[in-house]
A = this chain, B = another copy of it.
Amino acid sequence: MTADPTIEDIRTASERIRSFIHCTPVLTCEALNRMSGASLFFKCENFQKAGVFKIRGAANAVFSLREEDVSNGVATHSSGNHAAALALAAHWRGTRAFVVMPRTAPGVKKEAVAGYGAEIVFCEPTLRSREETLGEVVARTGAVVVHPYNDHRVICGQGTAALELCQEVSELDVVMTPVGGGGLVSGTAIVVSSLSPRTEVVAAEPERADDAYRSLQAGRILPSENPDTIADGLLTSLGDLTFPIIQRHVRNIVTVSEESIVAGMRCVWERMKVVIEPSAAVPVGALLGNRELFAGKRVGVILSGGNADLTNLPWVR
């Protein structure tokens, strides 16, 4: 197994992608400070290109490839934000993207991926069909697969958000991210443990997709089985590259109920006037529901994305 990425790898990633992505703003909100008892610094990756931090990892992976390796395009299976991000990164690199998506994916996600110029290959909505179809696509096209999180280039790209946050805000006691497959929290943990060793990295995870919490307790990867949460970006389970980084550097994983996720999401929309998707609301729910853990602390929060469905709001039911 290759060694874990280092802060130098993440600095290199940051240089590699900087002309393509936004250095997103850090916002504060007095109302949320009052409600949490903490001083919160929100790194707004919901304002990022393609509406999500995933473009950082996708762009770093795509621009890390040699010209001869990328000439046949890149490929992935995903029905979500990674697919759109990879499509956009491939467009920037001037190569093709092949995205395997279940036929049942929402029309708006198909349109987003197609809108960035990717070729969509439909499959049945099972993991087996996704993997088989991706295998066929790679055999046919010679495209390089870019995994959504279990890839050091992707982990390094995702870490660049925390790098910007630490450069802008000093003396943080805690940095929080959501955790799904673990790409974002791994990259964040490498940055924070290197630049500010006294700062705790805390991950927030839906109760109903709590594989990272259980895996950390057990000391081995325990995947989620049929997870079902509104935080649709966090349905994936840790990978063998992200798990050891999380084991080493992540102090705590806070699990969050569906009700708290929705309450956190609404609170950010209503008080900060900022649109975040349910996955991004998981750390907010963790903060509002666990005052005792965070009161009096300076907490950086990565608001991971803003691709919410505006026609189906979870508090209007």
Of the candidates B47, B311, B315, B316, which one forms a contact with A27 in the assembled complex, judged by CB atoms under 8 Å apart? Answer: B47
> A315 with B306: in contact, given A25-B25, A46-B273, A274-B274 (CB under 8 Å)?
no
Residues in B neighbouring A273, C-beta threshold 8 A: 46-47, 51, 274-276, 306
Of the candidates B275, B310, B315, B316, which one forms a contact with A274 in the assembled complex, judged by CB atoms under 8 Å apart? Answer: B275
Q: 1/0 per residue A273-303: CB within 8 Å of B?
A: 1111000000000000000000000000000
Interface contact B306-A311, CB-CB below 8 Å: no
Is A35 engaged at the interface, CB distance under 8 Å to the other chain? no
Residues in B neighbouring A47, C-beta threshold 8 A: 27, 272-273
CA distance A256 to B274 in the complex (A): 25
- Output the nearest chain B residue to A305 by Cβ-Cβ distance: B273
Tell me the smallest distance from the CB of A271 to a CB of chain B, in Å. Answer: 8
Is A92 engaged at the interface, CB distance under 8 Å to the other chain? no
CA distance A160 to B105 in the complex (A): 47
Of the candidates B27, B51, B270, B311, which one forms a contact with A310 in the assembled complex, judged by CB atoms under 8 Å apart? Answer: B270
Residues in B neighbouring A46, C-beta threshold 8 A: 273
Is A269 engaged at the interface, CB distance under 8 Å to the other chain? yes
CA distance A162 to B51 in the complex (A): 28
CA distance A272 to B25 in the complex (A): 13
Tell me the smallest distance from the CB of A49 to a CB of chain B, in Å. Answer: 8
- Output the nearest chain B residue to A52 by Cβ-Cβ distance: B273
Of the candidates B51, B269, B311, B315, which one forms a contact with A275 in the assembled complex, judged by CB atoms under 8 Å apart? Answer: B269
- Output the nearest chain B residue to A307 by Cβ-Cβ distance: B273
Residues in B neighbouring A51, C-beta threshold 8 A: 273
- Output the nearest chain B residue to A29 by Cβ-Cβ distance: B47
CA distance A272 to B51 in the complex (A): 9
Interface contact B310-A269, CB-CB below 8 Å: yes
Is A127 engaged at the interface, CB distance under 8 Å to the other chain? no
Is A56 engaged at the interface, CB distance under 8 Å to the other chain? no
Is A313 engaged at the interface, CB distance under 8 Å to the other chain? yes
Residues in B neighbouring A276, C-beta threshold 8 A: 273
CA distance A310 to B270 in the complex (A): 7
Residues in B neighbouring A313, C-beta threshold 8 A: 310-311, 313, 316
Is A266 engaged at the interface, CB distance under 8 Å to the other chain? yes
Which 8 interchain pairs have the tightest Cβ spacing?
Answer: A273-B306, A273-B275, A46-B273, A311-B316, A269-B275, A47-B273, A269-B310, A270-B310
Binding site for B on A (CB under 8 A): 25, 27, 46-47, 51, 266, 269-270, 272-276, 306, 310-311, 313, 315-316
